[in-house]
Structure 1
Amino acid sequence: MDMSLEVVLLPVSDVDRAKEFYRDKVGFHVDLDGEVMEGVRIVQLTPPGSGCSIALAEGLRVPTGTPRPGTYHGLQLCVADARAAYEELTARGLEVSEPVRYAPQDGATFLYFTDPDGNGWAVQEYRRRATEPLHQVLARLAEGEE
């Protein structure tokens, strides 16, 4: 059975502020912004080229123990060129770290930023993405080619 991760609920304290941040500073597309049931507003945003979105919620009852705004860390975006991502994000006014290369292999360069609540993101350079979409890599892995 195939499964895909398509939406991650991101805890934020102010949905409008977070929507503006992810749309204007990070460049996510707003897919949905509306009341999905009485008193519950969902804003769903998707990074360009991604099959997975984030959802921001207002009025949603969350169970005890659910992460609170600013507690998510390790969310990760992948790009083909970390320097180009850095330039684009800083041009949008986002405070983002300089790219750091941890090792010589592909996939070892990262930059980091946080949203207004303190949720932490990494941006990973994975040059192979420019020539080969992830679904092609995964299909070959499933067939035992790599």
Structure 2
Amino acid sequence: MGTMPATGTETTAATKEADLKLEAVVIPVSDVDRSKKFYQDLGWRLDADFSFENGFRVVQVTPPGSPASIQFGTRITHQRPGAAEGVYLVVSDIVAARDRLAALGAEVGDVFHPEAPGAQFGQVPDGRAGGLATDRASYGSFATFHDPDGNAYLIQEVTTRLPGRVDTGATNYASLNDLVGALKRAAAAHGEHEARNGGAYDENWPQWYAAYMIAEHHGDELPQ
């Protein structure tokens, strides 16, 4: 019996059964120990530092609250040092994140937002305007910094995910800061909710908070 090619439906079903979780991104550096110190000074967790007799060395660090990591070392990539660019770091409060990185010694740029629809990281400094995005729109505010070799990181503020970009089977927050930020936004929205209802105390506020936070996390319509 001949073998028939898999249909699109069968391929999609098979793919859904096999999780492909992004674990680490490799960046090229010229001085492994210098890079290791730089990232540790930023508070990134050191996960591994393995060396082998053939000269291979791999160091893995993880940014706070991140499920994925950064790897660098010797004989680990053919890229020239500093060639990595546009590595995204998502934060819930870009002003706080930028100030924190600067306090820890990173040369981080000022917060900016795209000056026109469609402006991308690769187009800066053209296409950028200083300051936060209008109404502090989710996905709209950015800052950049570089490691000692020039590998570029783009920090992006994301508070509400677009529909379809979150696993609808779970609601979780990667860090204390993410949870605190979500609670603050829910509190502000709930204050407006109470005002619309005559300012009366809402004894069901825990349920309202929970519904708001879940909807915001999944990119669904927010409760009013």
> Shorter-chain TM-score category?
0.7 to 0.9
Aligned-CA RMSD value:
2.3
The question of 1:106 aligning with 2:158 is answered: no
Deviation (angstroms), 1:107: 1.0
Matched position secondary structure for 2:166: helix
Matches within 5 A, 1:58-77: 58=74, 60=75, 62=77, 66-77=78-89
Alpha-carbon offset, residue 37 of structure 1: 6.1
Kindly indicate whether residue 33 of structure 2 is the aligned counterpart of residue 16 of structure 1: yes
Listed as ranges, the gaps of 5+ residues in structure 1 are 130-135
Q: Hey, which of these two has a bigger chunk of helix by percent?
A: 2
Alignment of 1:22-101 (within 5 A): 22-24=39-41, 26-35=42-51, 38-58=54-74, 60=75, 62=77, 66-101=78-113
Equivalent residue number for residue 14 of structure 2: none
Q: Does the aligned pair in 2 maintain the 1:36–1:42 contact within 8 Å? A: no
Match of 2:159 among 121, 127, 132: 127
More contact order relative to length (CA 8 Å, sep ≥ 6): 1
Report percent identity of matched pairs. 41
Q: TM-score, normalised by structure 2?
A: 0.54
- Equivalent of 1:3 in 2, 20, 31: 20
- Structure 1 residues 17-75: Cα deviation after superposition (integer angstroms, max 9, x where no partner): 11111110x321111112256432211000111111111112x265xxx3211111100
| Partner Cα separation in structure 2 for residue 54 and residue 61 of structure 1 | 12
How many residues in Structure 1 have an aligned counterpart in Structure 2? 132
- Larger fraction in strand: 1
Instruction: Decide which structure has the larger Cα Rg and report it.
Output: 2
Please report how far the alpha carbon of residue 13 of structure 1 lies from its aligned counterpart in structure 2 after TM superposition: 0.4
Contact 2:57 2:76 in 1 (8 A): no
CA separation in 2, counterparts of 1:67 and 1:3? 24
Tell me which residue corresponds to 1:133: none
Distance in 2 (CA, whole Å) between partners of 1:44 and 1:61 is 12
Q: Equivalents in 2 of 1:37, 1:9: separation in Å?
A: 21
SS at match of 1:111: strand
Q: Which residue type is aligned with residue 166 of structure 2?
A: L
- In the superposition, relative to structure 1, how do residues 83 and 21 fare at CA in structure 2: closer, same or farther (>3 Å)? same
Secondary structure, aligned partner of 1:34: strand
Is the CA contact 1:79–1:125 (under 8 Å) kept in the aligned structure 2? yes
TM-score, normalised to structure 1, is 0.80
